[in-house]
Amino acid sequence: MNMKNVILSEKNIPLYGEYDVVVVGGGTAGAVAAISAGRENLKTLVIEQFGSLGGSQTNALVHPIMPSFIKGNPITSSICSDIHKRMVEIGAAVNDDGPRDRFFDPNGFFNGTQLKVVLETMALEVGCKLLYHTRLIDVIKENNRIEYIVIHNKNGLSAVKAKTYIDCTGDADLAYISGVPCNSGDTNGVNSSMTLRFEMANVDMEKLSDYLIAGGQTEFIHYPTLHVDDFGWCPEFRRFVLEKHHLGELTHHDICHLQFFSIPGKPKSLSFNCPELGNGKNLIDADNLSKKQTEGKIAIKRITDFMKKYIPGFENAYISQIAPMLGLRETRRIEAEYIFNETDVFNYRKFADGIASNNFFIDVHGEDNSNRDKGYVDLPEEQKYYEVPYRSIVPKGIDNLLVAGRCAGLSFYGEATVRVQRTCRAMGEAAGIAAALAIAEDIPFRDVDGREVKKIMCLRGAEL
């Protein structure tokens, strides 16, 4: 095909509004960044391409939220805790006071549909303006500052002006088009695998539980409303799935993470963490995303047919949701003032400007993770965690931009642990606080004292 470029002529476009802070991408980090900025009384606008907040948590159907695996289970973000409290109040999450030494913290299970309502309520309560069905498409810069962003929605093109911007697009869209250098993938540019998640309803949970227990599963099915399984945790299910895989009924990618989790407030429903759709270079290429959406739906049909045909409890179950958004684990990551990396993870490194703490393992999908627990230093249990420094959300080269969430300044393997929702939320909370400090002192983000950001996070309730 003969590819040609076309010239887009200059256009006179309306100014949508002026704000203290514009958060681009109202997802896991972005919703919290907006609530955080709102709590600092900043005039805040959220630009979001879907019609709800939550991003991967709500529109890619990614639940549960992982525990931090830090001994004592400290609060890593006060807003994260507030969200959990609100979710529990409406039956959309669980409050279980049991021990926290299990792989899955029951308190991590949540209802993504209800989370949309909770996040929106919390953002509106603190005065945030939400502009849905709108995509960021360009920037207008002056020297090292973003003066305007250009957005597109059904009204056409318009511009938004802000004193500060927070990129929470997951893919560093705003940073990338602003000229911030970005990395993507491992040393060969290969991104971690993506997944198209789905839910099934009308599952007979008692029957499924009986099958899993009879099949040798001893963990994760002790709660009256929670039935959790992982491919590896029920020996009989694992054996049976492998047998059928060898016979060609399920593909390698179908069975990669054939896990299902219960959903508080949806009693007979399960959330599936599959099918994986493979790793590869530049996964966010639009043609590739479209192809993966189609492949994903075909795989979902195959997996659900399999469950209905063979697994007790699924006889009358049906697909109730397919995620509108692909589950992307790792794509663009910015060059930041500090690149948080695997050495920091292995050394349980703490920083004076640490704004997010975690002890989740390095979890790359699409490659062998078996060496992931081999490099750690030996420390007392309560010190086994790392912190992500404020400098890792400060991009190189732009004065009034922060980047929070999985696209922050993280190495490939650093990202593979930091990417979980708890740390993304903590980075979002820190970004909202830093925006208030930068505006109050009229300084670039790189001059904001990260120790002050950490202090304010702690005053709000974080146990960093």
Ligand X SMILES: Cc1cc2nc3c(=O)[nH]c(=O)nc-3n(C[C@H](O)[C@H](O)[C@H](O)COP(=O)(O)OP(=O)(O)OC[C@H]3O[C@@H](n4cnc5c(N)ncnc54)[C@H](O)[C@@H]3O)c2cc1C
CB of 46 vs ligand X, minimal distance in Å: 9
CB atoms closer than 10 angstroms to residue 137:
12
| Angstrom distance (rounded) from CA 448 to CA 66 | 30
Alpha carbon 28 to its chain's center = 5
Query: Minimum CB separation from ligand X for residue 66, in Å?
Result: 4
**Nearer of residues 175 and 211 to ligand X, judged by Cβ:** 175
Q: Which of 275, 327, 389, 409 binds ligand X (CB under 6 A)?
A: 327
Which amino acid, one-letter code, is at 305?
D
Q: Rule CB under 6 A: say whether 460 interacts with ligand X.
A: no
What is the Cα gyration radius of the chain? 22
Q: Which is nearer to ligand X, 307 or 416 (CB)?
A: 416
Cβ neighbors of 310 (< 8 A, separation 6 or more) are 240, 244
Q: Contact with ligand X (CB under 6 A): which of 62, 115, 159, 182?
A: 62
Residue 334 makes contact with ligand X by CB under 6 A:
no
Nearest to 304 by CA among 267, 275, 277: 275
Position 30 contacts ligand X (CB under 6 A): yes
By CB under 6 A, what part of segment 381-440 binds ligand X?
405-406, 419-421, 424
Contact present, 78 and 72 (Cβ < 8 Å): no
Backbone angles phi, psi at 194, to 5 degrees: -105, 165
| Consecutive H or E run containing 433 | helix 421-441
Beta strands 332-334 and 318-322, pairing class:
unpaired
Say if residues 22 and 149 touch (Cβ distance below 8 Å): yes
Q: Which is nearer to ligand X, 212 or 404 (CB)?
A: 404
Q: Does 136 bind ligand X (CB under 6 A)?
A: yes
How far apart are alpha carbons 322 and 431 in whole angstroms? 31
* Single-letter amino acid, residue 383: Q
> Do β-strands 260-263 and 332-334 pair in parallel, antiparallel, or remain unpaired?
unpaired
Q: Quick one: which of 22, 36, 45, 57 contacts ligand X (CB under 6 A)?
A: 57
Smallest gap from Cβ 363 to ligand X, in A, equals 9
The verdict on 336 binding ligand X (CB under 6 A) reads: no
Closer residue to ligand X in complex, CB, 24/345: 24
**Minimum separation from the CB atom of position 311 to ligand X (A):** 21
Residue pair 300/195 in contact (Cβ under 8 Å)? The answer is no
Interacting residue with ligand X among 22, 35, 45, 50 (CB under 6 A)? 50
Window contacting ligand X (CB under 6 A); options: 36-44, 115-123, 325-333, 346-354: 325-333
115 near ligand X, judged by CB under 6 A: no
27 binds ligand X (CB under 6 A): yes
**Which stretches of the chain bind ligand X, using CB under 6 A?**
24-30, 47-50, 55-57, 60, 62, 64-66, 135-136, 168-171, 173, 195, 197, 273, 327-329, 405-406, 419-421, 424
